């Protein structure tokens, strides 16, 4: 298949990443995952805008316009004939002799954009039945608002969930729920959707922003406030959102059923509203 490397679309087989790419050595870069539904990119502008925000927060200059990136990504999806899938894209600070400090401005090192596509079906069965989660301590840094390539704590938490036979690890800092290892987390109580505020402790998910708007438009209270693991376990409903998981019901946390142990009414309503957006 084809991929994006820098400013070009090339055959995957001709592209090679240098050993001293700072993404490879330091995780010095940022990324995005964009969903493709029926050959069309979903909320691409929002994802690319967040990519630029993440880059700015790590003082990295992408040296391409958002419009150019969007065009390239759309072209890539077309050339690869993606139907239902995703685009993974990342930008690293480029290739330079390994030292922690940034490459000198005169070193000709520039940020490197790479992107490729995947064919991924919607997780229909799991969206229908709901999935299980564990809770795990959030051991990440204090800038989780940046979609950084450094995902080791997320990887470790997801692996713990997988080994427990669960779909996701819902993270907490000293008992306060932040988000999932690769998703945002919500509870429903008395008809209100409650989720952690979009501060430095979570990634402000694009799906989260779509959901907030859907709630507003449909008279469902969307409350951004911190809640505890205890509240999570006693909630009427729990769900997570992400680009790949959409609005995913959580029916068990740490082996304890949530509500009736099946997807709740508010979650179902939000799933229906979300589906109307992507069709
Ligand atoms: N993960 N929080 C974290 C830590 C995430 O990694 C993600 C997304 C989200 C949800 O963001 P969005 O709705 O914009 O996808 C929240 C992507 C899908 C991933 O790493 O694969």
Q: Provide the pLDDT for residue 279.
A: 86
Please, which residues have CB within 8 angstroms of residue 39's CB and are 6 or more apart in sequence? 77, 78, 81, 82, 83
Q: Which residues line ligand 1 (CB under 6 A)?
A: 33, 154, 179, 182-184, 203, 205-208, 241-244
Q: For 148-178, write each residue's pLDDT tens digit.
A: 999 999 999 999 999 999 999 999 999 999 9
May I ask the CATH class of domain 2-119?
alpha beta
List alpha helices for 118-262, DSSP H.
124-129, 152-163, 206-217, 229-233
Q: Are 62 and 51 in contact (CB under 8 A)?
A: yes
Distance from the alpha carbon of residue 9 to the mean position of ligand 1, in angstroms:
25
Mean pLDDT confidence for 128-153: 98
Q: Would 2-119 and 124-278 be classified into the same CATH topology? A: no
pTM for the whole thing? 0.98
Positions marked active-site? 147
Delimit the domains of the chain by residue range: 2-119, 124-278
Q: For 230-265, write each residue's pLDDT tens digit.
A: 999 999 999 999 999 999 999 999 999 999 999 999
Distance from the alpha carbon of residue 108 to the mean position of ligand 1, in angstroms:
32
**CATH architecture designation of domain 124-278:** Alpha-Beta Barrel (3.20)
Residue ID of nearest Cα to ligand 1 atom 4: 182
Q: For 197-233, write each residue's pLDDT tens digit.
A: 999 999 999 999 999 999 999 999 999 999 999 999 9
Which value does ipTM take for this structure? 0.98
Distance from the alpha carbon of residue 110 to the mean position of ligand 1, in angstroms:
26
């Amino acid at each position: 298949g084809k991929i994006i490397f820098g400013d070009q679309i090339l055959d995957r087989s001709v592209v090679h990443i240098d050993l001293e790419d700072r993404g490879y050595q330091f995780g010095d870069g940022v990324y995005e995952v964009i969903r493709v539904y029926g050959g069309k990119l979903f909320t691409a502008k929002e994802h690319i805008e967040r990519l630029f925000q993440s880059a700015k927060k790590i003082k990295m200059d992408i040296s391409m316009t958002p419009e150019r990136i969007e065009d390239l990504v759309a072209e890539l999806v077309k050339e690869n004939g993606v139907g239902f899938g995703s685009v993974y894209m990342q930008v690293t600070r480029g290739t330079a002799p390994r030292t922690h400090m940034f490459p000198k401005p005169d070193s000709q090192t520039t940020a490197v954009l790479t992107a490729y596509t995947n064919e991924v079906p919607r997780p229909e069965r799991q969206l229908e039945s709901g999935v299980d989660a564990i809770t795990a301590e959030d051991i990440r840094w204090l800038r989780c608002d940046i979609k950084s390539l450094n995902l080791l704590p997320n990887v470790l938490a997801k692996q713990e969930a997988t080994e427990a036979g669960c779909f996701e690890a819902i993270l907490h800092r000293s008992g306060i729920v932040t988000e999932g290892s690769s998703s945002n987390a919500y509870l429903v109580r008395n008809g209100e959707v409650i989720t952690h505020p979009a501060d430095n402790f979570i990634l402000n998910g694009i799906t989260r922003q779509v959901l907030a708007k859907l709630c507003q438009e449909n008279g469902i209270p969307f409350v951004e406030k911190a809640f505890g693991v205890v509240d999570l376990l006693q909630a009427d409903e729990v769900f997570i959102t992400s680009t790949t998981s959409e609005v995913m019901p959580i029916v068990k946390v740490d082996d304890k059923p949530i509500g009736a142990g099946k997807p709740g009414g508010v979650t179902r309503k939000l799933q229906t509203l979300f589906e109307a957006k992507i069709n």
